[in-house]
Homo-oligomer: A and B are copies of this chain.
Amino acid sequence: MIVILKQNTTEAQLNNFTGWLASQGLDVHISRGSYETVIGLIGDTSKVDEELVKSLEMVESVRRISDPFKSANRKFHPDDSVVKVDAEGKVAFGGGRFGVIAGPCSVETKEQIISVAGDVKKAGAVMLRGGAFKPRTSPYDFQGLGAEGIRLLLEAKKETGLPIITEILSITHIELFEDIDVIQVGARNMQNFELLKELGRLKKTILLKRGLANTLKELLMSAEYIMSGGNENVILCERGIRTFDNTYTRNTLDLSAVPVLKELTHLPVIVDPSHAVGSSKYVESMALAAVAAGADGIMTEVHNDPLKALCDGAQSLTPEQFDRMMSKINMVRQAVAK
C-alpha cells in the first residue's frame, strides 16, 4: 500500500501516523518529494482499512498495490477454476467447460416450466433457469410464485434431468433452496453482505451477478465474502451496468469485463445478455459477442408465454430463436477456440 501525503503535513503528524502503522506491525519506507511525501507500507497490509487511511486530512491519496481480494485472485491460483454444478461435474463452468443456461423469466405454471425446460434441453442448454422470487422495483408488480415456484422448478428437473438455478432474495429463504443446484445472487443483492456471508457457509454453487453500478473490484470483493466463508464454488456473471445512455437497451452490457475478470481471477465468468439489453432482438448478437470475448457460459431467457408468443417477441427468445442461437454459439466457440 502506498500512501501519498500532502505537502503541508507536519513532522509531528507524520510521526503519529507512522507510529500507528508500526503498532499494526507495518514497516514504512518514506520518500520525500518537493511537493509530496510518499509512504510505502511494508508487511501484511490486507488488514489495513483503506477508507480509514484515506479519510485522514493529511492524506492525499492511497493506492493499494496488492489486490484486496485473495481467494478469488489469479495471482495465488494461476489455473482456471472449474466450478461444478453437480457432484460428478457433468455440468461445470470454467477451465474450458462452457455451457448455456436458459429458461423463462418467471416460473408461472407446471406446464410452462416443463415445456420450456424440454425445449431448451433439446437445443443444448445444460441448466434451467426460472425466477421463483422476483426482485421488482414496484411493490405492486408480480413478485413471483415464491416457494411454489421452487417446487415447480424441481418438478421440471425431475422431468428433464436439467440442474436448476434460481435467485435468492433473502437470508430467511435459504432452506427453501436446499434442492436447488445453483443459487443466484442478483444484481441488487451483490452487496447484501449478510446474505453473502450466509451463502459462504453452504457447499452449493453460487452464481454472483454484478450490481448495476458496481466495479469489477467490488464484484470480486463480494465473491471474496462467499469464498472467505469456505465456499469456493462461485461463478461470476456480467449482466449490464447503468450508464448515461439506457434508451434503446435497458443497461449497457460491459463485455470487456470478461477478459478483465479472467485476468484478475480464476473463477468462471458468464454473461447474461437478456437482462442487459432488455429486448430479444439484441440478445443473439450480444450472446455471440460474449462467446467471442471468451465467456465461460451464457445465461438467457426463453419463454413460451402465450401473450408474448401472441405478440411475437419479448425480452425472452422463443424456443425457435434459442435453437438458432445455440447453433451460432457453437460455431463462434469453434472459431475462437482455434
Contact A16 B213 (CB under 8 A): no
In the complex, the answer to whether A312 meets B191 with C-beta atoms within 8 Å is: no
Assess the A33–B312 pair: CB atoms within 8 A.
Answer: no
| Cβ of A228 under 8 Å from chain B | yes
| A288 CB within 8 Å of chain B | yes
Q: Kindly supply a per-residue 1/0 record for chain A positions 201-233, scoring 1 wherever the CB is within 8 Å of any chain B CB and 0 otherwise.
A: 000000000011111111001001100110000
List residues 291-332 of chain A with CB under 8 A from any CB of chain B. 291-294, 307-308, 310-316, 328, 331-332
Count chain B CB atoms within 10 A of each CB in A51, A280, A281 and give the residue with the most: A51
Contacts of A221 in B (CB 8 A): 137-139
- Inter-chain contact A138/B68, CB cutoff 8 Å: yes
Q: Within the complex, which residue of B33, B191, B307 is in contact with A135, where a contact is CB–CB below 8 Å?
A: B191
**What is the chain B residue whose CB lies nearest that of A1?**
B33
Q: Across the interface, which residues of B come within 8 angstroms of A328, CB to CB?
A: 335-336, 338
Pair B279/A314 contact, Cβ less than 8 Å: no
Select from chain B the residue with minimum beta-carbon distance to A301: B55
**Segment 100-144 of A: residues with Cβ below 8 Å from B:** 135-142
CA distance A66 to B37 in the complex (A): 11
Q: Which of B47, B54, B136, B243 contacts A243 (CB 8 A)?
A: B243
**Do A249 and B245 touch across chains, with their CB atoms under 8 A apart?**
no
Determine which of B33, B248, B311, B335 lies in contact with A17 in the assembled complex, contact meaning CB atoms within 8 Å: B311
Question: Which chain B residue shows the least CB distance to A190?
Answer: B188
Q: How far is the CA of A22 from the CA of B267 in the complex (A)?
A: 41
Known A-B contacts A57-B281, A169-B194, A311-B16; A260 and B252 likewise in contact (beta carbons under 8 Å): no
6 nearest CB pairs, A to B: A57-B313, A213-B213, A170-B194, A292-B292, A331-B335, A289-B289
